[in-house]
Every structure is written in C-alpha cells, then in structure tokens.
C-alpha cells in the first residue's frame, strides 16, 4: 500500500468512526483545559472529569487558584494521583500566569513548556485544542497505534510525533490527535487488537499473522 493510500484509508476510517471528535476532558476555556490536562498525567480522563468540577468551583481562573493554599488544592485533586506534585504546580503556574501574562494562558508552545508541571505533550494539547494551532501531541495510545499502523518506528514519543507530522498534513493534526486516541481506546487497545483485529490494522496490514511487538514510549 502506497503512503498516500494508507493516509487516505486511515483518515477515512477515523472519520467514519469519530466524525466530530471532542476533547474528552471537560473544560470551558484555555486555563481550565490546561489544568485538566495537567491532572490527566497518569490518571484517566474519567477520574479527572469527576474531580475538576469541585476544583473549579473553588477556583476556575488563575487569579482565584493562585490564592488557594496548596493543601486546599491537594485535598481536591488527590484522587488523580501525584497530588503533592500536581497541587504545587497548579498553584505556582497560576501565580506565574497572573504575574507575567495578565492571567491569560500563552499561545506559545515554548512559553507554556516553561510553566511548572507543563511538559511538551500538555502544552501541545492546549495550543491545539484551545487555540486551534496545529500540533500533534502523542500519548501512549497514539504511540501504540502509530507503530501498529506502520507510521513510525516507535523509538520514542518524540520520534513518533515527528513521523506523524510528516505523514499527515498540518490541517489534520488537531482532529487526528483526538480521533486516534478515541479509536485506540475502543478498537485498538493495548491488550486487545495487537495489530491483528481492528479495521485500521487490518486495512494497513491485511497479511499480518502474528501479534505486533511494540516499543514502549
């Protein structure tokens, strides 16, 4: 299968299964999305969505959040895991946003990555989903599928991101990021498909007989 054929087939199937994907983390603006994505590290989206209503009731903007005691934040977000680290980061980044950026979440990826608790993936999700700036954040689901579908060597998430950006045009990145995550969870799971069962795996490699061996992120 030629590269162009594979690209069109994958996009076609993703659009068929998830034509109008939305960010699975509940939020109302760039700031609440930033906090939700930060909380989602090593935590399920479902758990984050259970916690954030209580957190945002206390403080839904950096002005309010920066005034809360770290212990108050920790008490609410504890179910998400890594509570001490995340609560410290949330308070500190909120204070930085107020002091340096007028309470606004920057659109610049590199600036976002300097904030406490905000890595490349978190920053990429915010710029892509809050501001519509083309980005392709890679999580474990995308990393897994990119290998199974022959889109990346899978050496690490950095390589996978570069490979996906070369394979798909920029105008598709933001939508594909959400589509692949949703598809991976439902049809191409870590302990389910193994590159043999789901429609996209079968379309890309119809003659594959043995389970695909992944490289971890």
126-148 pLDDT, tens digit per residue, is 999 999 999 999 999 999 999 99
Choose the catalytic residue: 6, 86, 91, 139: 139
Single pTM value for the model: 0.94
Closest CA to 59 of 32, 81, 38: 32
Closest CA to 212 of 146, 148, 144, 157: 148
pLDDT at 134: 98
Choose the catalytic residue: 6, 86, 91, 121: 121
Average pLDDT over residues 99-117: 98
| Whether the predicted pLDDT of 217 surpasses 80 | no
| Whether the predicted pLDDT of 51 surpasses 90 | yes
Query: Is 163 marked active-site?
Result: no
pLDDT at 55: 98
Collapsed DSSP state (helix, strand, coil) of residue 27: coil
CATH of span 30-131: 1.10.340.30
Query: Is 121 marked active-site?
Result: yes
| Whether the predicted pLDDT of 216 surpasses 90 | no
Q: Where are the domains of the chain?
A: 30-131, 136-204
Topology of the domain comprising 136-204:
Endonuclease Iii, domain 2 (1.10.1670)
Give the Cα separation of 166 and 196 in Å (integer): 25
């Amino acid at each position: 299968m030629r590269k162009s054929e594979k690209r069109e087939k994958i996009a076609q199937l993703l659009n068929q299964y998830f034509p109008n994907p939305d960010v699975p983390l509940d939020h109302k603006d760039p700031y609440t999305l930033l906090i939700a994505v930060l909380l989602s590290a090593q935590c399920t989206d479902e758990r984050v969505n259970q916690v954030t209503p209580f957190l945002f009731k206390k403080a839904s903007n950096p002005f309010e959040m920066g005034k809360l005691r770290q212990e108050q934040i920790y008490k609410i977000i504890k179910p998400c895991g890594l509570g001490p680290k995340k609560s410290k980061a949330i308070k500190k980044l909120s204070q930085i946003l107020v002091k340096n950026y007028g309470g606004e979440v920057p659109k610049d990826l590199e600036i976002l990555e300097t904030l406490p608790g905000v890595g490349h993936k978190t920053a990429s999700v915010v710029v892509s989903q809050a501001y519509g700036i083309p980005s392709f954040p890679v999580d474990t689901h995308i990393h897994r599928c990119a290998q199974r579908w022959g889109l990346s060597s899978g050496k690490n998430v950095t390589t996978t991101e570069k490979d996906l950006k070369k394979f798909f045009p920029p105008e598709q990145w933001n939508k594909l990021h959400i589509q692949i995550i949703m598809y991976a969870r439902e049809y191409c799971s870590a302990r389910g498909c193994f590159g043999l069962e789901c429609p996209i795996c079968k379309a890309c490699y119809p003659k594959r007989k043995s389970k695909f061996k992944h490289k971890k992120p």
